[in-house]
Structure 1
Amino acid sequence: MMKPKVGFAMAADKTKYVFDAAALERLEQSCAIVRREPLEEFDSPAARALLAEIDILVTGWGCPMVTAPVVASAPRLRLIAHAAGTVKYTLDPAVYAAGIAVTHAADANAVPVAEYTLAAILFSNKRMFELRDRYRADPGRKSSYALTNAPIGNYQRIVGLVGASRIGRKVARLLRPFDFTVLLSDPYVLPGDPVTEDAELVSLDEVMTRADVVSIHAPSLPSTRGMIGARHFGLMQDGACFINTARGAVVDEAAMIAELQTGRIHAVIDVTEPEIPAPGSPLYTLPNVFLTPHVAGAVGTERLRLGQLAIAEIERFVAGRPLEFAVEPELLERLA
Structure 2
Amino acid sequence: MKNTISGLLEINKVSTSKIDQVDFDNLNFGSVFTDHMFVCDYKNGAWQTPKIVPYGPLTLDPSARVFHYGQAVFEGMKAYKDDHGDTYLFRPDENFKRINKSSERLAIPEFPEDYFFEGLNTLLKLEDAWIKPGVGNSLYIRPFVIATQASVSASEANEYKFMIICSPAQSYYSGDVSVLVAEKFSRSASGGFGYAKAAGNYAGQFYPTKLAKDQGYQQIIWTDSNAHEYVEEAGTMNVFFRINDTLLTAPISDRILDGVTRKSLIALAEKQGIKVEVRPIKVSEIVEAVKNGSLKEIFGAGTAAVVSPVKAFGYKGEHYELEKQDNSYASHFKSALMDIQYNKAEDSFGWRYKI
Q: TM-score, length-normalised on structure 1?
A: 0.27
Give the greater-gyration-radius structure (CA).
1
Higher relative helix content: 1
Higher relative strand content: 2
